[in-house]
Amino acid sequence: MTITRQDTDATRALHGLEDGRSSMRLRAALAAGTTPDPRFVDKLVERCAVEPEFLVRDMLTWALTRHPVATTLPALVREVRSERAQARSQALHTLSKIGDRQAWPAITRALLSDADDEVARSAWRAAVVLVPEGGESALAAVLATQLGRGERETQLSLSRALVTLGEVMVPTLRAATTAPDPRVRAHALATQRLLREPDAGFEFAIEEAKRVVALGPAERDDRTC
Protein backbone atom coordinates (compact mmCIF):
# COMPACT_ATOMS: atom_id res chain seq x y z
CA MET A 1 0.00 0.00 0.00
CA THR A 2 1.35 3.43 -0.94
CA ILE A 3 1.70 5.91 1.89
CA THR A 4 0.96 9.42 0.66
CA ARG A 5 2.17 12.76 1.99
CA GLN A 6 -1.36 13.36 3.25
CA ASP A 7 -1.22 10.11 5.23
CA THR A 8 2.10 11.12 6.75
CA ASP A 9 0.81 14.58 7.71
CA ALA A 10 -2.35 13.07 9.20
CA THR A 11 -0.34 10.62 11.29
CA ARG A 12 1.93 13.41 12.50
CA ALA A 13 -1.05 15.56 13.51
CA LEU A 14 -2.75 12.70 15.34
CA HIS A 15 0.41 11.91 17.28
CA GLY A 16 0.95 15.62 17.95
CA LEU A 17 -2.38 15.87 19.75
CA GLU A 18 -0.93 13.55 22.41
CA ASP A 19 2.36 15.42 22.79
CA GLY A 20 3.33 16.40 26.32
CA ARG A 21 4.07 19.97 25.21
CA SER A 22 1.07 22.25 24.86
CA SER A 23 2.76 24.16 22.02
CA MET A 24 2.98 20.97 19.99
CA ARG A 25 -0.64 20.05 20.71
CA LEU A 26 -1.65 23.54 19.64
CA ARG A 27 0.30 23.14 16.41
CA ALA A 28 -1.26 19.72 15.77
CA ALA A 29 -4.79 21.08 16.30
CA LEU A 30 -4.03 23.94 13.91
CA ALA A 31 -2.80 21.45 11.30
CA ALA A 32 -5.95 19.34 11.75
CA GLY A 33 -8.13 22.36 11.06
CA THR A 34 -6.02 23.71 8.23
CA THR A 35 -6.20 20.44 6.32
CA PRO A 36 -9.44 18.73 7.46
CA ASP A 37 -9.54 14.96 7.31
CA PRO A 38 -12.32 12.65 8.58
CA ARG A 39 -9.67 10.67 10.44
CA PHE A 40 -9.13 13.64 12.76
CA VAL A 41 -12.67 14.01 14.09
CA ASP A 42 -12.81 11.28 16.73
CA LYS A 43 -9.36 12.18 18.01
CA LEU A 44 -10.17 15.88 18.19
CA VAL A 45 -13.36 15.17 20.14
CA GLU A 46 -11.53 12.74 22.42
CA ARG A 47 -8.79 15.30 23.09
CA CYS A 48 -11.34 18.01 23.95
CA ALA A 49 -12.42 15.90 26.92
CA VAL A 50 -9.00 15.86 28.57
CA GLU A 51 -7.03 18.85 27.23
CA PRO A 52 -5.96 21.03 30.19
CA GLU A 53 -4.96 24.17 28.24
CA PHE A 54 -7.67 26.66 27.26
CA LEU A 55 -5.89 27.84 24.09
CA VAL A 56 -5.45 24.28 22.88
CA ARG A 57 -9.10 23.46 23.61
CA ASP A 58 -10.14 26.52 21.65
CA MET A 59 -8.01 25.39 18.70
CA LEU A 60 -9.48 21.88 18.93
CA THR A 61 -12.96 23.39 18.66
CA TRP A 62 -11.88 25.51 15.70
CA ALA A 63 -10.45 22.43 14.00
CA LEU A 64 -13.75 20.60 14.46
CA THR A 65 -15.70 23.49 12.94
CA ARG A 66 -13.55 23.11 9.83
CA HIS A 67 -14.83 19.57 9.22
CA PRO A 68 -18.15 18.66 7.58
CA VAL A 69 -21.13 18.84 9.93
CA ALA A 70 -22.22 15.36 8.86
CA THR A 71 -18.98 14.03 10.33
CA THR A 72 -18.68 16.12 13.48
CA LEU A 73 -22.29 16.33 14.67
CA PRO A 74 -22.79 12.64 15.58
CA ALA A 75 -19.54 12.54 17.55
CA LEU A 76 -20.33 15.74 19.45
CA VAL A 77 -23.91 14.70 20.21
CA ARG A 78 -22.57 11.47 21.72
CA GLU A 79 -20.07 13.46 23.75
CA VAL A 80 -22.65 15.67 25.47
CA ARG A 81 -23.81 12.50 27.23
CA SER A 82 -20.32 11.75 28.57
CA GLU A 83 -19.80 11.21 32.30
CA ARG A 84 -16.81 13.59 32.12
CA ALA A 85 -17.84 17.21 32.74
CA GLN A 86 -15.16 18.71 30.49
CA ALA A 87 -16.23 16.44 27.65
CA ARG A 88 -19.83 17.65 27.94
CA SER A 89 -18.83 21.28 28.27
CA GLN A 90 -16.44 21.35 25.33
CA ALA A 91 -18.80 19.40 23.08
CA LEU A 92 -21.58 21.90 23.86
CA HIS A 93 -19.22 24.79 23.22
CA THR A 94 -18.26 23.30 19.86
CA LEU A 95 -21.90 22.73 18.91
CA SER A 96 -22.59 26.40 19.63
CA LYS A 97 -19.73 27.38 17.32
CA ILE A 98 -20.94 25.07 14.54
CA GLY A 99 -24.45 26.47 14.95
CA ASP A 100 -26.33 23.69 13.16
CA ARG A 101 -29.85 23.35 14.56
CA GLN A 102 -29.89 19.63 13.87
CA ALA A 103 -28.08 19.42 17.23
CA TRP A 104 -30.99 21.01 19.12
CA PRO A 105 -32.50 17.72 20.42
CA ALA A 106 -29.19 17.07 22.22
CA ILE A 107 -29.68 20.18 24.38
CA THR A 108 -31.68 18.52 27.11
CA ARG A 109 -33.16 19.98 30.29
CA ALA A 110 -30.64 17.87 32.20
CA LEU A 111 -27.78 19.70 30.47
CA LEU A 112 -29.39 23.10 30.99
CA SER A 113 -29.49 22.34 34.72
CA ASP A 114 -26.26 20.32 34.91
CA ALA A 115 -24.71 20.28 38.38
CA ASP A 116 -21.39 21.41 36.90
CA ASP A 117 -21.50 25.19 36.36
CA GLU A 118 -19.21 25.12 33.33
CA VAL A 119 -21.36 22.49 31.62
CA ALA A 120 -24.54 24.41 32.38
CA ARG A 121 -23.04 27.65 31.09
CA SER A 122 -21.96 25.94 27.86
CA ALA A 123 -25.44 24.46 27.52
CA TRP A 124 -27.07 27.89 27.95
CA ARG A 125 -24.85 29.41 25.26
CA ALA A 126 -25.50 26.52 22.90
CA ALA A 127 -29.24 26.57 23.55
CA VAL A 128 -29.78 30.19 22.54
CA VAL A 129 -27.85 29.57 19.32
CA LEU A 130 -29.56 26.31 18.39
CA VAL A 131 -33.15 26.84 19.60
CA PRO A 132 -35.55 26.45 16.65
CA GLU A 133 -37.88 29.28 15.73
CA GLY A 134 -40.89 29.22 18.01
CA GLY A 135 -39.07 27.44 20.82
CA GLU A 136 -37.70 30.55 22.52
CA SER A 137 -40.46 30.94 25.13
CA ALA A 138 -40.16 27.33 26.30
CA LEU A 139 -36.39 27.72 26.49
CA ALA A 140 -36.74 30.93 28.51
CA ALA A 141 -38.94 29.08 30.99
CA VAL A 142 -36.29 26.39 31.48
CA LEU A 143 -33.46 28.90 31.76
CA ALA A 144 -35.42 30.88 34.34
CA THR A 145 -35.32 27.87 36.67
CA GLN A 146 -31.57 28.53 36.98
CA LEU A 147 -31.89 32.14 38.14
CA GLY A 148 -30.00 32.82 41.35
CA ARG A 149 -27.59 29.98 40.71
CA GLY A 150 -23.86 30.22 41.36
CA GLU A 151 -21.47 33.13 41.57
CA ARG A 152 -21.19 36.27 39.41
CA GLU A 153 -19.66 34.57 36.35
CA THR A 154 -22.37 31.91 36.23
CA GLN A 155 -25.15 34.42 36.80
CA LEU A 156 -23.79 36.70 34.09
CA SER A 157 -23.71 33.78 31.62
CA LEU A 158 -27.36 33.02 32.32
CA SER A 159 -28.38 36.66 32.06
CA ARG A 160 -26.62 36.98 28.72
CA ALA A 161 -28.37 33.87 27.44
CA LEU A 162 -31.77 35.21 28.50
CA VAL A 163 -31.09 38.64 27.01
CA THR A 164 -30.11 36.95 23.74
CA LEU A 165 -33.63 35.52 23.57
CA GLY A 166 -34.96 39.09 23.59
CA GLU A 167 -38.45 40.27 24.48
CA VAL A 168 -39.86 36.75 24.38
CA MET A 169 -38.35 36.08 27.81
CA VAL A 170 -39.84 39.17 29.48
CA PRO A 171 -43.01 37.53 30.92
CA THR A 172 -41.01 34.65 32.39
CA LEU A 173 -38.46 37.04 33.84
CA ARG A 174 -41.16 39.29 35.27
CA ALA A 175 -42.65 36.32 37.10
CA ALA A 176 -39.23 35.51 38.57
CA THR A 177 -39.00 38.98 40.15
CA THR A 178 -41.63 37.86 42.67
CA ALA A 179 -40.04 34.50 43.50
CA PRO A 180 -39.69 33.61 47.20
CA ASP A 181 -35.89 33.33 46.95
CA PRO A 182 -34.22 36.78 47.16
CA ARG A 183 -31.27 35.55 45.03
CA VAL A 184 -33.69 34.62 42.26
CA ARG A 185 -35.47 37.97 42.52
CA ALA A 186 -32.20 39.92 42.44
CA HIS A 187 -30.89 37.95 39.47
CA ALA A 188 -34.16 38.44 37.56
CA LEU A 189 -34.12 42.18 38.24
CA ALA A 190 -30.48 42.45 37.17
CA THR A 191 -31.30 40.62 33.94
CA GLN A 192 -34.20 42.98 33.29
CA ARG A 193 -31.79 45.87 33.77
CA LEU A 194 -29.36 44.36 31.25
CA LEU A 195 -32.17 43.92 28.73
CA ARG A 196 -33.18 47.59 29.09
CA GLU A 197 -29.65 48.97 29.42
CA PRO A 198 -27.08 46.62 27.84
CA ASP A 199 -24.24 49.02 28.67
CA ALA A 200 -25.07 49.21 32.39
CA GLY A 201 -22.72 46.35 33.33
CA PHE A 202 -23.75 43.25 35.24
CA GLU A 203 -21.94 44.12 38.47
CA PHE A 204 -23.81 47.39 38.71
CA ALA A 205 -27.08 45.72 37.71
CA ILE A 206 -26.84 42.96 40.32
CA GLU A 207 -25.91 45.36 43.14
CA GLU A 208 -28.77 47.67 42.18
CA ALA A 209 -31.11 44.65 42.04
CA LYS A 210 -30.06 43.56 45.54
CA ARG A 211 -30.85 47.03 46.82
CA VAL A 212 -34.26 46.97 45.17
CA VAL A 213 -35.03 43.54 46.64
CA ALA A 214 -34.04 44.79 50.09
CA LEU A 215 -36.34 47.81 49.75
CA GLY A 216 -39.34 45.62 49.07
CA PRO A 217 -42.28 45.29 46.63
CA ALA A 218 -43.09 48.98 46.23
CA GLU A 219 -39.63 49.81 44.94
CA ARG A 220 -39.70 46.75 42.66
CA ASP A 221 -42.96 47.83 41.13
CA ASP A 222 -41.42 51.19 40.24
CA ARG A 223 -38.40 49.69 38.53
CA THR A 224 -39.47 46.47 36.81
CA CYS A 225 -40.31 46.44 33.12
Summarised one tens digit per residue, pLDDT across range 65-122 is 999 999 999 999 999 999 999 999 999 999 999 999 999 999 999 999 999 999 999 9
Greater confidence (1 vs 84) lies with 84
Whole-number pLDDT of residue 11: 78
Whole-number pLDDT of residue 1: 45
CB 149 within 8 A of CB 155: yes
pLDDT, average across residues 203-219: 56
Cα 129 from Cα 71, distance rounded (Å): 20
Q: Predicted confidence band at 10 (pLDDT cuts at 50, 70, 90)?
A: confident
pLDDT, average across residues 1-23: 74
Q: Of 198, 201, 113, nearest to 158 (Cα)?
A: 113
End-to-end CA distance of the chain: 70
Query: What is the number of helices (H) and of strands (E) in the chain?
Result: 14, 0
Q: Predicted confidence band at 57 (pLDDT cuts at 50, 70, 90)?
A: very high
Q: How far is CA 72 from CA 24, 41, 207, in A?
A: 23, 6, 42
Taking phi over 0 as left and psi of -120 to 50 as alpha, with beta for the rest, 132 belongs to beta
Domain parsing of the chain, residue ranges: 140-225
- Spatial neighbors of 123 by CB under 8 A, at least 6 apart, are 92, 107, 111, 112, 114
Cα 3 from Cα 202, distance rounded (Å): 56
Residue 216 DSSP code: -
pLDDT exceeding 70 applies to what percent of the chain? 84
